[in-house]
Chains A and B, each alone.
Chain A
Amino acid sequence: LTLVGCNNSNTGNTISQEHVNYEDFIDQYFYIQKTFISDNFESITPETVNFVTTTLPSQKLNSSKKNDAQNEDLKKPSRLESYYKSKNSNMIIKIDYIYNEEIQTNNFLSISSFYNDYNVNIKNEYSNLNRPFIVEHFITVKGMLISIKFINDVERNDYQKNIDESNVFYHEFEEILLSFK
């Protein structure tokens, strides 16, 4: 079968070799799942990982996109996830890995804090709104955005303890990220 305009030596490939292809993203995820073993945190994600895709609300950013799958192919989730549980506290950790072939650099972007005593940018009259403890790390490595959420329901005195624990997790997790090529 010969299609006019198509041949094997397609030179119009605009994706440079620097880009991480989707299969590598999947491989890196499973590499982390297998390799990351900690004395302080246990994986609570089953071995058969569920490939989750989500239909998007109607949106005009890229209006043709109906779901978050890679090329809207439901067997190719753009986001993979995993959960861990602290062995030393009630902290639960959720990691989201979001594929983006354009991300080129390893970068610790930011940390977002959210808990009862943290009232920066909340009006005084709303500072008593009850909130769970959520600390979120935003990280990029080649081909993906990684969000790590540390979630707990903690007493007032234990915020720093939980923040310290999130740092312990990060440093252990970082070892795996650094082992990527």
Chain B
Amino acid sequence: MEVSTKMTSKFVKVLSSAALTFVLAFPMGAYAATNPVVNETTFPSTETIINGSPTSENSDLIKPMDVLMGPYFDSYVQNYVTSVDKFRQIAAFTLDNRYSSSDTPVPMSVTITSSTSQGSEFSGSITFTGEVKAGIFGGISVANNYSVKETRTTNEAVGMTAGPLQVPKGKIGHIDMYYRAIQSGGGVKTYTYNTSNPSVKYYTTTPINVKTYKAAYPDVYTDPYLQ
């Protein structure tokens, strides 16, 4: 009951304020003649509030939404390229020549007999989808005139040799072997568009950095040293 009373009094207030507006908007002379119209004009506006939006607008809501598509790869512009010698370690060999009785240095030569698969390293505020990666690799190939690949596969380094490192008596010889990477830095240009107007593309350039492998051969960096 109380709610109903409040609603009623609110409705009366709305009516009276609408009436007051009407009174102020029209000359006194017209008021008496148009008085019944006040109710008619007030009622549809109430209906509008209940429905939230006009029926004509509601029919728009079930049309396909305008969707943002992308980002899609456009191009990769390389700003610099460097070499990273010790990117992923493949193997490590040690020859301890401290126990030997001979004064003759021992030549240390080694060969990789097994290696695990090793991936690349991407950094940047972008989702590195297959399309983006492929695009970046294409850009790197063009910029440097050699092709690159994302993964060194299992046993790809098998048969790679290093040495001889001459290890004197009393020393420990080490040969560490790594996959060398190329490091390319630059900008990935991507675009998005709205389905409502696909011909208008919005471009963004995101700085990225990738450490990856030359495709032609297993580029192995050897680090021999004595301890």
Q: Which of A's residues lie within 8 Å of B, judged by CB?
A: 26, 48-58, 66-67, 74-76
Contact = CB atoms under 8 A, between A and B. Distances in A.
Contact size class for B? 20 to 34
Interface stretch (B2-10, B36-44, B86-94, B119-127): B86-94
Contacts of B100: 55-57, 66
Interface string B99-125: 111100010111111100000000000
B92 A51 contact: yes
A58 B114 CA distance: 32
B85 interface: no
* A49, A52, A66 pick with most chain B CB within 10 angstroms: A52
A44 B96 CA distance: 21
7 contacts: A50-B174, A53-B94, A55-B96, A55-B99, A55-B106, A74-B110, A75-B113
* A49, A55, A58 pick with most chain B CB within 10 angstroms: A55
A75 B157 CA distance: 14
A57 B89 CA distance: 31
A55 B97 contact: yes
Contacts of A58: 101-102
Contact of A50 (B94, B109, B112): B94
A50 B227 CA distance: 15
A21 B89 CA distance: 27
Nearest to A54: B96
Contact of A52 (B90, B96, B101, B106): B96
Contacts of A50: 92-94, 174
B160 to A, nearest CB: 11
A58 B90 CA distance: 33
